[in-house]
Chain A
Amino acid sequence: MSFALTSFKKDIARWRQDYMATLIWLAIPLLTGGLITTLMGSDVKPHGTLLLVDEDQTFLSELIVGAYSAGELGELLSVEKTGFDEGFERVNDGEASGLLVIPDGFAVAFLESEPVTLTLRTNPSQTILPGIITNVTEILLDAGFYAHQLFGDEIETFTSMTEDPSDAQVAAIAVAIQNKMETVAPRLFPPLIEIEIVEPPPKEPTPPLALLFMPGIILMAVVFSANGLASDFWREREQGTLRRLAFTPARMGEFLIGKALAAAVIVGLVGGVTLVLGFLYHGISFTRLPTSLVWIALSGIVLFAWFGALQMLFSNQKTASVFSMMLVFPLLMAGGSFFPLAVLPGWIAAIGRIAPNGFMAHSLTLEITAAGPWSIPLLSWLTLILAAAIGLSICGWRLRAGFART
C-alpha cells in the first residue's frame, strides 16, 4: 500500500498549487449560505406607515387614531396624520401601507346611527401590512356596531341633549351603562362558552430555518469540490501521466486509493471550514464536529468516486465536464441545497432524500440537530461505505479497462 501513500501525497502537493479552485468551491456555498442566513435568520419585523386624514377632528375620530397606535399594532404601524391630497399621492407612490380617511361628521353620524363612509386605500405592492390595516378597521367598525346595540338608549339620550349635560345626567347615564355592563359581564368576562382545552401532542422543537439550510449549504461545497477533484482523472489522462503510470509496476488500485484519500482530506477541509462557520453562527456544540467532519469526508469520497466513474465513461474531457456540471445543479436543487428538505412538501422531500447529496445532508441535519453526537444511524454509515466501495470499483475498472492506456 506504499504507493497509495505516494499517490495521496502527490495529489495533496498538486492541490496546494491550485488554491484558486478551492477558494471557488468555498466561496459559492458561503456566499449562498450567507445570503440565505441573512434573509432567514434575522428578527426584523415588518413595519409600515398608515396615513390618516382626520377631517372630523372629534373625540371619536381621535379614538380611532389611538386604536391603530396601541399595543402590538403600534410596533407594526406608525400612524401619521396628513392632508387628503398629500396622503393620496404618498400611498400611490408606495410610501405608505395605507390611507384612511375619516370624513367630516363621522362622530355625529356614528352617534346618530346614520350611514357614514370611511375610505381606506391600501398599497397594492404590499400584502401583509395593508391586510392588517383592513382587518383592524373592520374590527373597529364591528365594535362600533355592537356598542350601538348595547348602549343605544344612552347614546340617544346623550345626543338629544341640547345643552351640556348636568352632573346628575352624566351620573344617570354612567349608572345605566354600569348596569348593562353588569348584565352582560358574566357572558363576556369570561365569555359564556364552554371551552375544552385539548393539549396538542408534544412536538419536537423545530430548528430555525437558517439552521436547516446549513447541511444543504455544506453539501453544496462538498459536491462542488468532489466534482472538481473527480475531473482530475481526465486531467491526468490529458497530460499523459495516467498512461505513463500504466507502464510502471505500480498498482492502479493503490493509485486510486491514494487519490480517494486525498479527495477525502480536501473535501474534509473545504467542508470543515463551512462546518466550523456554521457551528459558530448557530451556536452548535463542537462535540458534533468530529462526527460531522468524518461524515463529510466520507461523503466526499463517495461523490468523488461516482463523479469520477461517470466522467470516465465519456469519450472526451469537454463532454464529461459539461455533463457533470449539468448533473450538479439538479442534484443541488433536489438535495436541499437551495431549499431545505424540511420545508419542502413531503413527497418532494422524500425524493430529495433519495438523491445522494440529499441523503448526506439529511443525515448531517440529524447529527447537528439531535440531542447528542453520533446521531447518524449505523445503517447510513454502512450505506455510504458501500456506495464508496462501489464507486471506487467502477473507477478502478474504467482505469484498467482502457481509460489510463490511451
Chain B
Amino acid sequence: MLTVKELSKNYGDFVAVDRISFSAGKGSVFGLLGPNGAGKSTAINCIAGLLKPTSGHAAVAGHDVVSDGKAARSNLGVVPQELALYEDLSAIENLRYWGKAYGLSGQALDGRVTEVLEYIGLNDRAKDLPREFSGGMKRRLNFGCGIVHKPPVILLDEPTVGVDPQSRARLFDMVEAERDAGACIVYTTHYMEEAERLCDSLAIIDHGKLIAQGSVDELRAKLGARDVLQLSGHFPVEPTKQAISALIERGNADLEFLAQEEDSITLTLSNASQHLPTIFEAVAGTGGNVTETSLRSPNLETLFLLLTGTELRE
C-alpha cells in the first residue's frame, strides 16, 4: 500500500532525510519513531506530496507521489499533528468541505459524512461549531476530516500530542478500527508506549536515517532479555568507564554501557537485580556514589537508548 525507497530530502548541505526505505501493507499500523527533529515530519511531508524528495521514490497505493501526485493524494488521508479545522464552520460543514476537497460529491459524500459523524461520536453535535467543542471532540473531528474519503492509506502525524488520556484512548480505538477495516496506517510518534500498543511494525529514525526497522517483537529481541539499570548520583567519567569495562572483562559479557553523564549512568544486563552489589562496589571504588537506582524491563525506549545513546524525548 505504501512503499518508500531510498527517499532523501536535502536542504542545501543539510540532509533532513537520508535514503530511508520501508513499506507498509493493508490492514496494518506502521510506526515511524524518532525524537523531535529526527526527520519524521519531513519524511511524512515527502510522502504526502507537500515536499518534493531530493532523490528516491514514494508510492501510495501504487501511485508515485511526484509523477502521479493527484492520484496518490486521493488515496491518502492525512491527520495533521495540529488541529486543522474551520472553527467558524459546523462539524458537518467541515466534513463536507474536506470530503469535497478529496473529490466526493452527491450521495457518496452525504453517506460518508453521516457515517464519519457517527464514527467520531459527534452525531448529536453535527451542527455546532468546533469552537464550542472540547479539545477531545476537536481531535476527533480533526481525525474524521482526514478519513472522510475513506482512504486506503492514512498518515497520522503525532496525533496524540497534547491530548488528554481519555481522548487518546478514543483515538487509539479509532486507529485500530481503521486498521481492522483494512487501511494501511503510518503513525508517527515519539511516545514508545503508543508505538508498542498500536504498531505491527515500525522504524526508528534519527538524524534523518532509519536506524532500526522490524516488528515490535523483532526490535525487542535486539535487546534480548536484558534489564535496564539506571543509576543516579555522582560518577567520575573516566574511572567509572574503566570500572564498568573491568566488570565486562571479568565475565559479565552481556553488560553494556548505554549512556553516561556525571549525574547518571545507564546500563543493560541480564538479571540486573542479582548484580547490583557488584556494580555498587565498582562504582564506590571510583569515588562515585549512588543516590537512586531504577531498574526496568526492556522496551522500545531502551532500544532507542541503545541505538542512539540518547533518550527519545530529548
Chain A interface residues (CB < 8 Å from chain B): 2-3, 6, 10, 13-14, 17-18, 239-241, 243-250, 405
Q: Which residues of B contact A6 (CB under 8 A)?
A: 97, 100-101
B261: Cβ under 8 A from any A Cβ: no
B86: Cβ under 8 A from any A Cβ: yes
Known: A244-B84, A250-B100. 16 other contacts (CB 8 A): A6-B97, A10-B97, A13-B93, A17-B89, A17-B129, A239-B83, A239-B86, A239-B87, A240-B80, A240-B84, A241-B85, A241-B86, A243-B50, A247-B50, A249-B70, A249-B73
Whether the pair A247, B129 counts as a contact (CB closer than 8 A) is no
A2 vs B68: C-alpha distance when bound (angstroms): 21
- The 19 listed contacts between A and B (C-beta, < 8 Å) are A3-B100, A10-B86, A13-B89, A13-B93, A17-B88, A239-B86, A241-B86, A243-B84, A244-B78, A247-B48, A247-B49, A247-B78, A247-B80, A248-B73, A249-B70, A249-B74, A249-B102, A405-B50, A405-B51
A239 vs B83: C-alpha distance when bound (angstroms): 7
Whether the pair A248, B86 counts as a contact (CB closer than 8 A) is no
Q: Which residues of A contact B50 (CB under 8 A)?
A: 243, 246-247, 405
Q: Which residues of B contact A248 (CB under 8 A)?
A: 73, 98, 101-102
Q: Which of B60-102 contact A (CB under 8 A)?
A: 70-71, 73-74, 76, 78, 80, 82-89, 93, 97-98, 100-102
A248 vs B77: C-alpha distance when bound (angstroms): 8
A250 vs B101: C-alpha distance when bound (angstroms): 5
- Quick one: which of A3, A6, A18, A248 has the most chain B CB within 10 A? A248
A405 vs B78: C-alpha distance when bound (angstroms): 13
Q: Which residues of B contact A247 (CB under 8 A)?
A: 48-50, 73, 76, 78, 80
Whether the pair A245, B101 counts as a contact (CB closer than 8 A) is yes
Q: Which residues of A contact B98 (CB under 8 A)?
A: 244, 248
Q: Which residues of A contact B73 (CB under 8 A)?
A: 247-249
A249 vs B50: C-alpha distance when bound (angstroms): 11
B103: Cβ under 8 A from any A Cβ: yes
Whether the pair A2, B83 counts as a contact (CB closer than 8 A) is no
Q: Shortest CB–CB separation between residue A4 and chain B, in angstroms?
A: 11
- Quick one: which of A10, A244, A250, A405 has the most chain B CB within 10 A? A244
Q: Which residues of B contact A2 (CB under 8 A)?
A: 100, 105
Q: Shortest CB–CB separation between residue B272 and chain A, in angstroms?
A: 46
Which 6 pairs of residues, A with B, have the shortest CB-CB distance?
A240-B84, A244-B84, A248-B101, A17-B88, A247-B78, A250-B101
Q: Which residues of B contact A405 (CB under 8 A)?
A: 45, 50-51
Whether the pair A241, B102 counts as a contact (CB closer than 8 A) is no
Closest to B77 in A: A247
Q: Shortest CB–CB separation between residue A262 and chain B, in angstroms?
A: 13
Q: Which of B1-20 contact A (CB under 8 A)?
A: none
B145: Cβ under 8 A from any A Cβ: yes
- Quick one: which of A14, A17, A247 has the most chain B CB within 10 A? A247
Q: Which residues of B contact A239 (CB under 8 A)?
A: 83-87
Question: Known contacts being A247-B78, A249-B73, is A14 close to B101, with CB within 8 Å?
Answer: no
A241 vs B146: C-alpha distance when bound (angstroms): 12
Whether the pair A249, B129 counts as a contact (CB closer than 8 A) is no
- Quick one: which of B49, B50, B93 has the most chain A CB within 10 A? B50
Q: Which one, B74, B88, B103, contacts A18 given CB within 8 A? A: B88
Q: Shortest CB–CB separation between residue A385 and chain B, in angstroms?
A: 28
Q: Which residues of A contact B100 (CB under 8 A)?
A: 2-3, 6, 250
Question: Known contacts being A6-B101, A17-B129, is A244 close to B70, with CB within 8 Å?
Answer: no
Q: Which residues of B contact A243 (CB under 8 A)?
A: 50, 80, 84
Closest to B72 in A: A249
Q: Which residues of B contact A13 (CB under 8 A)?
A: 88-89, 93
Q: Shortest CB–CB separation between residue B70 and chain A, in angstroms?
A: 5
Q: Shortest CB–CB separation between residue A406 and chain B, in angstroms?
A: 9
